[in-house]
Amino acid sequence: MSADPLAVYPRGSALDDHGHLLLGGCDALELAREHGTPAYVVAEEDLREQARAYRVAFDRYAPGAHVSFASKAFPCTAVLRVLEEEGLGCDVASGGELALALNAGFAPDRIHLHGNAKSEGELQAAVDHGLRQVVVDNGDDVTRLARIAADRGTVQAVSIRVTPDVRGDTHDGISTGQADSKFGLGLDEARATIDRIRGLGSLRLEALHFHVGSQLLELDVFRRAVAAIAPLTDGIAEVNLGGGLGVAYTADEAGRLPTVDEYARVKVSAVRDLIGERVRISDEPGRSLVGRSGVTLYTVETVKRNVSTWVAVDGGMADNLRPMLYGARYEAQIADRFVARGAAGATACRVVGKHCESSDVLVADAELDDPKPGDVLVTPVTGAYGYAMANTYNGVPRPPVVFVSGGRSRVVVRRERIDELWSRDV
């Protein structure tokens, strides 16, 4: 067994005397029996601890910093409630995410609205609820929002999303800081938009924002982004540094990524060095808040040898699109027979889903201990952008979300029912 077989599992996970995986004190096999599979399991204590790690880190370097959860990473009421209770704000990117955040209990003045194609209705909702900020992404946002706020006789606080023309080390599909991007305004357009907003009575410009990408593995990109926007910050009260910290998905990556403390220190010191003490700091992490708290449990349906050893499970690309979209690498284990890579009993296999596509591969290079039908298989680090991007391809109902804590489990999102597959059919 490698140094720590649970290196990327939620904090508090363990292997019991029989080798069974414990999540929040619950036996993974019992969880699978009780709640069925596939199931997203979230360790509540790990989630709370990560939220506190963010608060503590930002408070340490920038007391009073405003940290929001990028709710797109795990848009479910129970997760939002936990993060609200832990004192975070909420970043929403659509009217749907806004409704979810409000319903989960976020006060409107702790929510800000993003979106590169906001509708009239989304902008109206933002103004009517009195959101903390609307993040302007384009000139049409300014035109519409100014009119909506003026019609209501109110002044809406805004920030401007700036595309700083920097490129981080991540997959092209989740890189956003480059000049040629569908998100935000380039540096020249941003400068013109700052002047334009300042001339409008119904909008109040508070902040500049950048988000340069997601699953970023090195921190230098943030300093380059701060340097790029610094010349625009005259009279600006706040900068939002946009989240983006990567997480370790596999044990070999564990310990090689920046910690939340390092991330906060680098971001804050870039602002202090390049802009100064006068601006407030905000951030909006998604993945690194929720990624490690979640694992997915599957049941092995069949094992066969066709050149490779194929271990097919009862979920796949409908509950985790990330391998297919970004070639994302995960690891897998049989929940009661963990085995180290390269160990005598480890079989090299491809863990695949049940969907009708050859690219429905969850883990291309797994090593499992004698996988058999009926085994419970676990993939760690599925808390971010798993549930969020789930779909019902091939008529597979979406899995439940189960919280575990102190040896107890509770369903916070029930499994989708088969009859819901046609519940909207007219």
Residues that bind ligand LLP (CB under 6 A): 70, 72-73, 91, 114, 174, 211, 214-215, 242-245, 284-288, 322, 326, 385
Distance of alpha carbon 400 from the chain centroid: 18
Nearer to ligand LLP by Cβ, of 257 and 334: the residue is 257
CA-based max dimension of the chain: 72
Q: What's the closest the beta carbon of residue 364 comes to ligand LLP, in angstroms?
A: 17
| Segments in 167-259 forming alpha helices (H) | 187-198, 220-229
Q: What are 88-93's contacts with CB under 8 Å, separation 24+?
A: 88/51, 88/54, 88/55, 88/289, 89/132, 89/282, 89/284, 91/243, 91/284, 91/286
DSSP 19: S
Sequence-distant (6+) residues with CB within 8 A of 306 are none
Please state, in angstroms and rounded to a whole number, the distance separating the CA atoms of residues 190 and 182. 14
Nearer to ligand LLP by Cβ, of 35 and 66: the residue is 66
Q: What's the closest the beta carbon of residue 120 comes to ligand LLP, in angstroms?
A: 21
Go through 390-399 and write b for each residue having 16 or more CB atoms within 10 A of its CB, e for each that does not.
beebeebbbb
Q: What's the closest the beta carbon of residue 67 comes to ligand LLP, in angstroms?
A: 11
Nearer to ligand LLP by Cβ, of 193 and 215: the residue is 215
- Decide if 356 is catalytic: yes
Closest by alpha carbon to 225, among 238, 236, 241?
Answer: 241
- ∠ CA 274-280-286, rounded to 5°: 95
Burial of 168 (0-12, 13-18, 19+ CB in 10 A): buried
Q: What's the closest the beta carbon of residue 342 comes to ligand LLP, in angstroms?
A: 29
Q: What's the closest the beta carbon of residue 125 comes to ligand LLP, in angstroms?
A: 18
Q: What is the DSSP string of 90-138?
A: EEE-SHHHHHHHHHHT--GGGEEE--SS--HHHHHHHHHHT-SEEEE-S
Nearer to ligand LLP by Cβ, of 156 and 214: the residue is 214
* Active-site entry in 26, 90, 349, 356: 356
Q: Cβ of 387: how many Cβ atoms within 10 Å?
A: 25
| Segments in 280-337 forming alpha helices (H) | 287-290, 322-326
Nearer to ligand LLP by Cβ, of 9 and 385: the residue is 385
Q: What's the closest the beta carbon of residue 381 comes to ligand LLP, in angstroms?
A: 11
Catalytic residues, by residue number, are 356
